[in-house]
Amino acid sequence: MSHFCLPSGMHRSDITKVAPLVRRRVRVLKGDALFHPGDAADAVYAVRVGTIKTCITTASGRNQVVTFHLPGEIIGLESLVQVTHACRATALEDTSLCLIPSDVLKAQAVHIAPLRNRLLEAFSHEARHQRDQAVMLGQMTAEERIATFLLSLSERLSARGFAASEFLLRMSREDIGSHLGLKLETVSRILSRMGGAGLLRVRARNVAILDRDMLEHVSQGLRPLLPRTQPQAPRMTM
Amino acid sequence: MSHFCLPSGMHRSDITKVAPLVRRRVRVLKGDALFHPGDAADAVYAVRVGTIKTCITTASGRNQVVTFHLPGEIIGLESLVQVTHACRATALEDTSLCLIPSDVLKAQAVHIAPLRNRLLEAFSHEARHQRDQAVMLGQMTAEERIATFLLSLSERLSARGFAASEFLLRMSREDIGSHLGLKLETVSRILSRMGGAGLLRVRARNVAILDRDMLEHVSQGLRPLLPRTQPQAPRMTM
DNA sequence: CGTACAGTTGATAGGTCTCAAGCCGCGTGG
DNA sequence: CCACGCGGCTTGAGACCTATCAACTGTACG
């Protein structure tokens, strides 16, 4: 339940709470990086408009999308603790962010109790989010992962005032797959399948959720898998 | 690299730092629970002797081992932020822990800067750990996962002064599988395979790492999979 | 209008799961 | 002390899901 709403970063209200600390705005063009692995980690960011993905590269050179950051969400909390970034943060569309220098944030946290608590909460939230992601990757099928992912996107977007049931996927099929531990072909197939089953309407990167209840059932594995090819006569009378 | 040393909780030195705050000791017998989901989350624990597993149950009723907590590691950091536990913490052997009430910890953190930083670090560490877990589940094969898991155990045990290359698995094959997103049969098969290949010596829950270099190669997918059946004559001269 | 890239779809291969049978170690009780 | 039974573990055969390889379509952009 509560483990499976997978938004990341702080809540909406957090943005306004720390508003006085914001030092400047940053713009990142589609495809450009906000920071690279190895860069000095000296600021925390909040997405104002746009979308950012953070990717990590493993020792063996494989890449994985760790998180998609939507408007209102926080990036780079780790810079309060570490000196360099481990991830690469890339803009999926032209994006503008608020920048708060991490030393300012740390200095202010000494005096302001609510801010301290907010930081703890944000970290805790991040840990929970990553744990839920691990649980998802550990035991969900491809269909369950994609259903969960779409519902999470829907929820987070609607929390920011966007339409809950019709939205644009800012990321490629490959990005989605990377985030969910799947290949792009599998993502594509399952989106098509969900479209065919009437759960979604998918046209390129436009997605409309047509049957949210059913999608939730799928996300919890309560439903036999959707038909792989066409349904056929399910079982003849012997 | 640094992403794949997967210890959880604070470092060794943390234990002593917060020693004055410790209010009492707790003992949990093998198989018993330290706390259940829904229980009030009002304390943070540090393992003194023994091993604890924390499990989460998803909305669909499936269970997953989130973390194994070895001596020196921290449990229940979330209680600084949340009022109830989401996980179940179970002892894998008779275990004794230090208990620090979370309100005491929070109160002290107001005055003691190093403690504050420690808490942030611990949270950040936890988030990183969970992220690495997600990356592992997202793209590693069963062999890579198990190699990574064994190396992580070895590293964490040796950090606490235990032997690095020969240790006892406190958890069942099923627990390992649950933690790694695999079934117990797969865990068993792969341990056997690694034994047969000379990387390990496995007898029941005793594990000895015989070829750490090779195990590291396997953990990074740099090696063609170990032979599935018996090694046979590796390759005859045609 | 053609190139390039993202996405779709098909056929096949491969890894892990499932189901099933047996083995082993250990605690219990005769 | 040994027989027994149970849970944890091993091993095998087959099915299933997802990856892989490949062809093709559509679409954005020069």
**B238, pLDDT greater than 70:** no
What average pLDDT does this structure show over B55-60? 92
Positive or negative, the Cα torsion across A36, A38, A40, A43?
positive
B91 in the same domain as B31: yes
> Is pLDDT at B72 greater than 60 in this prediction?
yes
Assign residue B203 the CATH number of its domain.
Answer: 1.10.10.10
Q: What is the pLDDT of residue B223?
A: 76
B58 and B7 share one domain: yes
A217 touches strand C (CB under 7 A): no
> What pLDDT, on the 0 to 100 scale, is given for residue B10?
44
pLDDT digits (tens, 9 = 90+) for B81-91: 999 999 999 99
What pLDDT was estimated at residue B133? 97
State the pLDDT at residue B19.
62
Return the DSSP state at B37.
Answer: T
CA B223 to C1' C13, whole Å: 20
- pTM higher than 0.85: yes
From B112, B130, B148, give the residue that closes a domain.
Answer: B112
CA–CA gap between residue B57 and residue B60 (Å, rounded): 8
Whose C1' is closest to the CA of A172: which nucleotide? C6
Contact B181 A81 (CB under 8 A): no
Q: How far apart are the first and last CA of chain A?
A: 41
| Whether residues A55 and A156 fall in one domain | no
Q: Are residues A104 and A22 in the same domain?
A: yes
Q: Identify the pLDDT of residue A42.
A: 94
Residue that finishes a domain, picked among B76, B97, B112: B112
Ramachandran angles phi, psi of B89, nearest 5°: -110, 120
Alpha helix segments (H runs only) across B99-180: 102-111, 113-139, 142-159, 173-180
Q: Which of A110, A137, A180 comes nearest B181 by C-beta? A: A137
Same-domain status, B103 and B30: yes
CA atoms B22, B23, B27, B31: torsion sign: negative
**Chain A residues with CB within 8 Å of chain B CB:** 1-4, 56, 58-60, 62, 64, 66, 77-78, 80-82, 86, 109-110, 113, 116, 119-121, 123-124, 126-128, 130-131, 133-135, 137-139, 178-181, 220-222
Q: State the Cα–Cα distance between residues A84 and A64, nearest whole angstrom.
A: 19
The pLDDT of residue B228: 61
- Indicate if B16 and B105 belong to the same structural domain: yes
Nucleotide nearest to B184 (CA to C1'): D9
Tell me how many domains chain B contains.
2
**B23/D8 CA-to-C1' distance in Å:** 38
Q: How many CB atoms lie within 10 A of CB A38?
A: 10
Q: Which domain holds residue A23?
A: 2-112
Together in a domain, B37 and B94? yes
C-beta atoms of B86 and A133 within 8 A: no
Residue B1 pLDDT > 60: no
Q: Indicate if the pLDDT at residue B65 is higher than 60.
A: yes
Average of pLDDT values for B202-224? 92
Question: pLDDT 10s digit of each residue in chain A, 238 long?
Answer: 444 443 444 444 444 456 666 778 999 999 999 999 999 999 999 999 999 999 999 988 899 999 999 999 999 999 999 999 999 999 999 999 999 999 999 888 888 888 888 888 999 999 999 999 999 999 999 999 999 999 999 999 999 999 999 999 999 999 999 999 999 999 999 999 999 999 999 999 999 999 999 999 999 998 766 666 544 444 343 3
Same domain, A91 and A181: no
Residue B12 has pLDDT above 50, yes or no: no
- pLDDT of B229: 55
Residue-wise pLDDT tens digits, B106-142: 888 888 888 888 888 999 999 999 999 999 999 999 9
Q: Is nucleic acid strand D under 7 Å from A57's C-beta?
A: no
Q: Do A99 and A144 sit in the same domain of this protein?
A: no
B186 touches strand C (CB under 7 A): yes
**Beta strands at A88-91 and A33-35: parallel, antiparallel or unpaired:** antiparallel
Average pLDDT over residues B51-72: 94
Q: Do A124 and B77 touch (CB under 8 A)?
A: yes
Banded model confidence at residue B17, pLDDT cuts 50, 70, 90 = low
| pLDDT above 80 for B218 | yes
3-state secondary structure of A97: strand
Cα–Cα distance, A161 to A170 (Å, whole number)? 17
Residues A143 and A106 in one domain: no
Count the Cβ atoms, other than its own, within 10 Å of residue B169. 20
pLDDT at A200: 95
Name the domain boundary from B77, B112, B147. Answer: B112
Name the amino acid, one letter, at B217: H
Share of residues in chain B with pLDDT > 90 (%): 74
CA-based nearest distance B49→chain A, Å: 25
> Which of A86, A113, A139 lies nearest to residue B181, judging by beta carbons?
A139
The residues that bridge with B203 in the sheet, in sequence order, are B206
Spatial contact of A169 and A181, defined as CB atoms under 8 Å apart: no
Region B167-189 average pLDDT: 97
B182 touches strand C (CB under 7 A): yes
Question: Residue B102: is its pLDDT beyond 50?
Answer: yes
The type of residue at A209 is I
| Contact (CB<8Å) B120/A178 | no
Average pLDDT over residues B3-17: 45
- Are A146 and A188 found together in one domain? yes
